[in-house]
Amino acid sequence: MNQLYSNGILTTASNFLLSQYSNATNDRRRFFVTTGSVLVTVWTLLKLVRKQNHASIEYKNNIVPSVSGTLPVFGHAFQINKDPLGFIQKCKAEYGPAFKIKLVTQDLYVLTGKMIPELLMASRKTVSFTEGIETIMPVERVMRLSYEHKHTEENISPRDKHPITYPIKQNFKPNQIEVFSDRVEKAFQGLLQEELVLKRGEKKQIDPWDFLSHAISRISCLCFAGSRVGTNRDLIHSMATLTQSIVKAGMLLTVLPPMIADIVVRRYMSVERQLDLLMKLLVPLINGLRSGEIPDDEPTFVSMTSKLLKSDGSMRSPEEAAFHFKGVALASIHTTSHFTTFALHELACRPQLMEDLRKEINTLEKRTPESVSHLRLLDSFIREVLRYDIDNLGLHHMALQDMVLSTGQMIPKGSLIVAALDEAHQDPALGSLYDKPLNEFDAYRFINATEDKKSSTIGIDLISFGLGAHACPGRYFAVNEIKYILAELLVRFDISTPSGKRAPDNYAMGMVKFPPKEPIILEGIL
Ligand code: HEM
């Protein structure tokens, strides 16, 4: 189409020049002035059309545009680190809703706003979350290097009900999680008794990440493994630190040459000890449950997954079933600790919010995970943390086939695709209009909102739990757990930071946003 436009301009221009030339003998001066202006106009028009052509050739050839300005070796690393969200917003404005950037050696296809569901709702034959994550953080390789000499991960058939996802999807629905309430309460109260008894006015400085990952691991071990082994301190510690140990080893695998990296990880960074402990505790438990020696009287992830048959009707070996525990620990502990740490930092710089939340919590006759789950301000606050404190780019997926977007553009097989999460959460075109701009933190934003804006309700304006069929099935459990932890801390302590301010977040490669490193001060108020 634009080719036709260009030809049309050239033809019209040459006709005009010819007609002018025939009159030239009468008025030579007029001829030069007119011809000059026509040439300038034609040149400008052609430039404009060529520019349009360039964009539309990319569109016509179904190419996702590459963002200019890549530096050798670093790609766009400097630009994105300088202003993570600003860089993505600028690229979207210049190149449209899908574009390609380069971070160090990795090409990344970025989908923004309304295009994100196309990634998250695509079939798992088209894109793979596991392979996407593996490209940037080789979790499975760390596991293999650490443990393949002792146990090989089960090969899950596509026909199998997934041994981690299926039990969570079936047993952690909003009306079912009440069965875990007593254990959530017991685990957290136990930790408070042991580590955080402060008299009125007494202060204690904590590293919020350490404290919360241990608190959440304590809750997870009790709920997912059960009372018989879930109070084991080594297990709690191992699961609290498992993700971080894997991330450290994984980072090394991505930077060192494979042969050297494999040796270093096997020798010095292996998670064998944590996995040994898990197997030592869980295999006898599963054997006992199966033989009837141990009564199956407590709903746990371990009992659910060990009862789940494979697609051929066979039972998993106790080792296979036990090994899946690390999967649920990896999916739940780090993620929940991450957002709860952000929540503490958001509270620490907002004394009025703390006061308002305390008032709301104190309206309850009894604080339980069940009763705090209905508090509106607390829910609004948590939704806002999940919305605001989100990664710039996330939910990495690998294209297993060529993927055609609704724009007609094609992402080739083998490409890494990411969602621009923060950009979507701040796009007024996607969320409803609220009193405060979306680039500000407003804990009260959703207080009068309807059911569709609850903290566990997913949508294009809240993608922190994913979207579609593969959205996080543990989200109802996660938000209840976060609410209970915050409610118990708020009624006991004033929360602040040494600087008195909201310390800046930390970004990894301009993509992942980590909570501030600043400690949190708890001061007893009871
Ligand atoms: C605040 C805490 C949490 C956050 C932010 C979170 C976020 C996510 C996200 C983004 C996904 C990927 C969705 C996708 O593939 O599109 C996911 C998957 C998953 N999450 Fe969570 N999660 C949290 C807590 C939990 C908890 C507590 C559990 C277990 C009780 C859990 C179990 C799972 C499982 C099993 C999957 C895989 C789902 C599938 O592949 O179909 N998560 N989660």
Please check if 221 is assigned to a binding site: no
- Non-local CB neighbours of 46 within 8 Å, separated by 6+ positions: 6, 9, 10
Predicted confidence at residue 64, as pLDDT, reads 96
- Residue 280, exposed/middle/buried by CB under 10 A (0-12, 13-18, 19+)? middle
Residue nearest to atom 18 of ligand 1 (CA): 472
User: Domain-by-domain residue ranges, the chain?
Assistant: 1-61, 65-153+391-425, 154-390+426-524
Identify the pLDDT of residue 435.
Answer: 77
State which ligand 1 atom lies nearest to the alpha carbon of 468: 16
Ligand 1 pocket mutation, candidates 218, 337, 465, 482, criterion most atoms within 8 A of CB: 465
CA distance 324 to 332: 13
Per-residue pLDDT, 433: 62
pLDDT at 55: 46
* Whether pTM exceeds 0.90: no
pLDDT of res. 255: 86
The ranges of the chain with pLDDT < 50 are 1-26, 31, 33-34, 38, 40-42, 44-57, 59
The pick from 335, 387, 479 for probing ligand 1's pocket by mutation, whose C-beta has the most ligand atoms within 8 angstroms, reads 335
Long-range contacts of residues 75-83, Cβ cutoff 8 Å, at least 24 apart:
75/101, 75/102, 75/103, 75/104, 75/105, 75/106, 76/101, 76/102, 76/103, 77/103, 77/104, 77/509, 77/510, 80/392, 80/509, 80/510, 80/511, 81/507, 81/509, 81/510
Confidence at residue 428, expressed as pLDDT on a 0 to 100 scale: 87
Ligand 1: residues within 6 Å at CB?
120, 129, 164-165, 168, 172, 328, 331-332, 335-336, 339, 395, 464-466, 470-474, 477-478
Question: What is the CB neighbour count within 10 angstroms for residue 270?
Answer: 18
Q: How far is the CA of 214 from the centre of ligand 1 (A)?
A: 19
Centroid of ligand 1 to alpha carbon of 134 (angstroms): 16
Nearest Cα residue to atom 30 of ligand 1:
474
Atom of ligand 1 nearest to the CA of 129: 15
Nearest-CA residue for atom 16 of ligand 1? 466
154-390+426-524 folds as Cytochrome p450 (1.10.630)
Residue bearing the CA closest to ligand 1, atom 1: 336
65-153+391-425 CATH fold: 3.30.43
- Ligand 1 centre from 353 Cα, in Å? 28
- Between the CA of 465 and the centroid of ligand 1 the distance, in Å, is 6
Tell me, what's the ipTM? 0.99
Q: CB count, 10 Å around CB of 252?
A: 18
C-alpha 308 – ligand 1 centre gap (Å)? 20
Name residues whose C-beta falls within 8 Å of residue 366's C-beta, 6 or more positions apart in sequence: none
Take atom 15 of ligand 1 and give the residue whose Cα is closest: 470
Give the number of the atom of ligand 1 that is nearest the alpha carbon of residue 467: 16
Output the CA 85–ligand 1 centroid distance in Å: 24
